[in-house]
Amino acid sequence: MVKDLKIYGFEMSRIAEVYLSTLSTLMTPLGIERYFFPLIFLSKNSGKVTQKDLAEAIRRDKVYTMRIVDYLCDKGLIMRKQDCNDRRCQLLEVTAKGKELVPLIKEGIEKTNEILFHDFSGSEKEAFKVSMNKLFTTINTMPEPKYIVKAFKRK
87-126 pLDDT tens trace: 677 899 999 999 999 999 999 999 999 999 999 999 999 9
Phi, psi of 85 (to 5 degrees): -90, -25
What length does the chain have?
Answer: 155
Pick the CATH number of 8-118 from 1.10.3720.10, 3.40.50.1100, 1.10.150.120, 1.10.10.10: 1.10.10.10
How big is the chain by its Cα radius of gyration, in Å?
A: 18
1-37 pLDDT tens trace: 566 777 888 889 999 999 999 999 999 999 898 999 9
Q: Would the pLDDT of 149 be above 70?
A: no
- Given a contact cutoff of 8 angstroms between Cβ atoms, the answer to whether 140 and 59 are in contact is no
47-70 pLDDT tens trace: 889 988 998 888 788 899 999 999
